[in-house]
Structure 1
Amino acid sequence: MNILDVVPKKAVFRQTGTPVEPELRPVWRIALIALILSLLSSGNKANAKKIQVLCSLISSSDKRQKYFSPTKDLFENFNVRFDPLVDRAIDLGIGGKIFELDASKSIKLTKKGLEFAKKIECDQEIFINEKGFILKFKKSFFTDDVIDRLVAGVRL
């Protein structure tokens, strides 16, 4: 008897959906990258390394809290995860004309992307913790040297 030849008398399919964490949604990452480019990057552009490091820092509430800690704990245990989902979000953002690549291969906000970022900045109900952290810094703070030190785990 082949199980594929037997027709079931009753088949029931139930969907037990579970919500997807916001951090796993591409739109969430695209919005976070737009905020980073708008609020933390000169000229509204940055290289992929800077975006990866800042996404790693900003998206983790634990890392955000430890960043201002007077102990060395964050820098000794700061693990920058070069997340393929961030790269995918950048690709989707480029496809959606939110971002573009400039001549030096930096990711840059388009006009549409800048409008998108401004809407996120003005909305008081989304990215509350992330915006609170981001707004503590000037655009010029996260230089290449600062990013390299974060990756290396060296105290600033």
Structure 2
Amino acid sequence: MKRNDLFDFLDIPFTFQKRPVAIPADLRADWRIGILVLILNISCRGSRASIIKLHVMNWAIRSNQGTELFLKLCAGQVSPESIIVRFEPWLNRAIDLALAEGILRRVDGDRVELTPSGTIMAKEILGNKECFAKEKEFLHGLRKSISEERLKKIIETVIYQ
């Protein structure tokens, strides 16, 4: 086929059709960054947390089952051995993107904290009642009740069982 024939062939009417979203919302970087900002702002002292705590909180927030298990764990109704926390590579990518965008900064090696622009982002998300409604309700219910020490013990129990 000659070049002109190809252009003639391609010169036809076309339409766009809406297709399903290829990536589920909870795997999108913008959703994950929003969750990170909320976790740090609502549930972490000094808006600072270890990467492990962020992974555990992310696991808890992703599904109703994870949320329910985490709340039972915090209340002492289930043992750490009865849960399986999933560490998501997507969360690490979201952390890297948030660091690159200046939303987070690294402190003390394995910890991150909100920057002033991250705090502004958190306030904007908190101000929108429709945005992350279920997640905000869960995080406000916990507040800062699960400390890094308690979480570390839970993770050690799960990892070394």
* TM-score bin (small chain): 0.7 to 0.9
- Asked whether 1:119 is paired with 2:121, we answer no
- 2:147 alignment counterpart: 143
Residues 95-143 of structure 1 show CA distances to partners (whole Å, capped at 9, x for unaligned) of: 111001124441110000000011111110011111111111232x221
- 2:63 alignment counterpart: 60
Give the letter aligned to residue 138 of structure 1: R
Q: Identity across aligned pairs (percent)?
A: 27
- The TM-score normalised by the length of structure 1 is 0.79
Deviation at 1:71, TM superposition (A): 5.5
Deviation at 1:90, TM superposition (A): 0.3
- 1:38 alignment counterpart: 41
Structure 1: gaps (5+ residues): 1-6
Give the letter aligned to residue 146 of structure 1: R
Structure 2: gaps (5+ residues): 1-5
> Contact 1:78 / 1:150 at 8 angstroms: preserved in 2?
no
- 2:19 alignment counterpart: 17
Give the letter aligned to residue 25 of structure 2: P
> Contact 2:60 / 2:69 at 8 angstroms: preserved in 1?
no
Deviation at 1:76, TM superposition (A): 4.6
- Asked whether 1:132 is paired with 2:137, we answer yes
2:142 is paired with a residue of what secondary structure?
A: coil
- Alpha-carbon distance change, 37 to 149 in structure 1, aligned in 2, over 3 angstroms: same
Higher share of residues assigned helix: 2
Q: Which runs of at least 4 in structure 1 moved beyond 6 Å after TM superposition?
A: 10-16
* In 1: Cα distance, 2:82 partner to 2:63 partner: 13
The one of 69, 74, 84 equivalent to 2:89 is: 84
- 2:105 alignment counterpart: 100
- Alpha-carbon distance change, 24 to 138 in structure 1, aligned in 2, over 3 angstroms: closer
- Cα RMSD, aligned residues only: 2.7
Deviation at 1:15, TM superposition (A): 7.0
- How many residues are matched? 145
- Alpha-carbon distance change, 111 to 102 in structure 1, aligned in 2, over 3 angstroms: same
> Contact 2:106 / 2:112 at 8 angstroms: preserved in 1?
yes
- The TM-score normalised by the length of structure 2 is 0.76
1:135 is paired with a residue of what secondary structure?
A: helix
Give the letter aligned to residue 119 of structure 1: E
